[in-house]
């Protein structure tokens, strides 16, 4: 499937840019969880790091990088 996309250079560039943007969004720490009074119930540091989406995006970017050489 990746090689099919590679035939369309503009489409490939668009997909890579969207993946990079999505990676940046997923790399941000989560917002703190607040209660009804606006007090922090769970800070960003206490929340679980959702690394799985970033890992998947990184793997795809690694595979696609060879198409730019």
Task: Give tens-digit pLDDT for 15-58.
Answer: 899 999 999 999 999 899 999 999 999 998 888 888 999 999 99
Domain ranges of the chain: 2-68
Amino acid 25: pLDDT: 94
CA–CA gap between residue 61 and residue 63 (Å, rounded): 5
Amino acid 12: pLDDT: 84
For residue 5, pLDDT beyond 90: no
CA–CA gap between residue 61 and residue 19 (Å, rounded): 8
Q: Which two tokens stand for residue 68?
A: 């730019």
Assign 9 a pLDDT band (cuts: 50, 70, 90): confident
Phi, psi of 20 (to 5 degrees): -65, -40
The model carries a pTM of: 0.71
């Amino acid at each position: 499937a990746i090689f099919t996309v590679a035939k369309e250079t503009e489409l490939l560039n668009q997909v890579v840019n969207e993946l990079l943007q999505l990676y940046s969004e997923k790399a941000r720490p989560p917002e703190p969880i607040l209660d009804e009074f606006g007090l922090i119930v769970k800070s960003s540091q206490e929340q679980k790091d959702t690394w799985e989406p970033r890992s998947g995006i990184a793997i795809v970017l690694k595979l696609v990088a060879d198409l730019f050489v």
